[in-house]
Each structure stands twice: as C-alpha cells, then as structure tokens.
Amino acid sequence: ELDAANNLDGIMAMGFDAAFIGLGLPNATSVTETQLDGLWNAMDFLTEAKQPGKLDLTGKSVGVIGGGNTAMDVAVTARQLGARDVYLIYRRSFKEMPAWGAERQRAIDEGVHFLILTQPLEYVGAAGKLTGIKLCPTRLGDPDAGGRRRPESVTSSAYDLDMDLVVEAIGQSAAGDIERTLPGVKIINGLIQTTNGTLATSRNSVFAGGDLVRGPSTVVAAVADGMRAAREIDRYLQSHG
C-alpha cells in the first residue's frame, strides 16, 4: 500500500524499470464532517441496496446530492426500494449535469424530483439522527477554470426540507496526502496530469490511469486505461532497453 511513509520513491528504489499508478479515488467527498444516522455516501448506499432485504425505504423521503451518473443510480435505486419522494439536488442547471442523457431520463421516468440550481447548506438532525436538509437557490456566475459557470449561493432564500435519508454523490477523492505519496508526479486539483496525450506522468518511467487521472468515471474506462498503459509501458521499455 502506498502512502506518505511508503511512497513512490521507495517503490522505484526497489529497481523497477517502470510503474503504473492506478490508485483510484476511494474516499467519498462530503458536505459535512458531522456524523448523522441517515446520512450516506453513494458507494455505501448502493452496496447496501444490493443486499436483499437490507434497505426498505417504503414511504420515506430521500435526498440525493449530485448530478452525475452515480447520483442518478442512487435516485433510481431509492425509488425502486419504495421511497415515496426522491429529490435530486444539483447546484447547476439541468443541461450542465454531467450525467448521461439516458441516465437522467431514467430518473425522470422513475418519478425522481429534480431540484436544480439548488445547493445544500447544512444537514438538520436531532439526537444524532438526520431529520432534514437546509437548502438555498443558486445563480450561475462567472466561468471557472474549466469553463463552467460557478454556482453562487443565494443564502437569503434558504429553506428547510424534511428528509428521512440523504445520500451524497458529489465525487470521490484520493486517499491520504497524494502529493507526498507520489513525489515527482504533477498533480492539479487532486488529479494526476499526464503528458502529450499519453498516460505518461511528469515523472520519468511512471504511468497512470483510471479515476486518479480522469476523475470519477466507469470501470470500463479504468480497465481501458490499464490496457493502454500496458502497451505504452511496453513501448517505453523497448525504447529504453
């Protein structure tokens, strides 16, 4: 296992001619550090939902934070588990949702309510149990570095919405101090930067792929990166042999 104490320098010092980094983004991103019964991250929720009889949401009100494919999967799953109302809460506009069109349509067909241009401010709880969520409208401001308009909170219009369960599907992050774990590898905004359209990193003989390069994506994309990296590493070793 790689970490700040057992980092890439130590691995390469063992004499490897090349290395591939596929650490992924195992940590769920959260709006809060507060622990409340009824507040889930998407991966835990979906894992639990696959176990027969584990989750019964009959008559429950469920909030889903996020606008990607995982958020749509969570929302649809909650409806299929009997939730009375499922609110998908996204801070940008409908057309800016990163979820595929087919996934958005599936959620609509399942009766999911879309609260777009809406952002969570905090979770409401009593005796350690989630009871609701404080929301506020957003408006889109100037574009960010990626060209997407930044959502700006309109906190003067905040309101509470009662919830029995909230699932956060707002992204994943790397484990630990990734820059100390991977010295010499260029990292921007928590993602490894590859060079010249390849999977080669800024560190000589080190390649990378998967979510830690492209951001949260699919298993298919991660597998494809691994296969591509194998070919690139083979070419690299042949040219440096």
CB 140 within 8 A of CB 116: no
Contacts of 211 by beta carbon, 8 Å cutoff, 6+ apart: 24, 25, 172, 217, 222
Q: Which CATH entry fits the domain spanning 36-171: 3.50.50.60, 1.10.357.10, 2.60.120.10, 3.60.40.10?
A: 3.50.50.60
Q: Which two tokens stand for residue 37?
A: 């019964």
Q: Which residues of the chain have pLDDT under 50?
A: none
Q: pLDDT (tens digit, 9 = 90+) per residue, 103-162?
A: 999 999 999 999 999 999 999 999 999 999 999 999 999 887 777 788 999 999 999 999
Q: How far apart are alpha carbons 80 and 218 in whole angstroms?
A: 22
Q: How far apart are alpha carbons 87 and 78 in whole angstroms?
A: 10
Helix (H) or strand (E) holding 89, with range, is: strand 85-89
Q: What is the pLDDT of residue 108?
A: 97
CB 200 within 8 A of CB 232: yes
Q: What is the pLDDT of residue 106?
A: 97
Q: Which two tokens stand for residue 210?
A: 């998967």
Q: Domain locations in the chain?
A: 36-171, 175-239
CB 29 within 8 A of CB 172: yes
pTM of the model: 0.70
Question: Residue 137 in 3-state DSSP?
Answer: strand
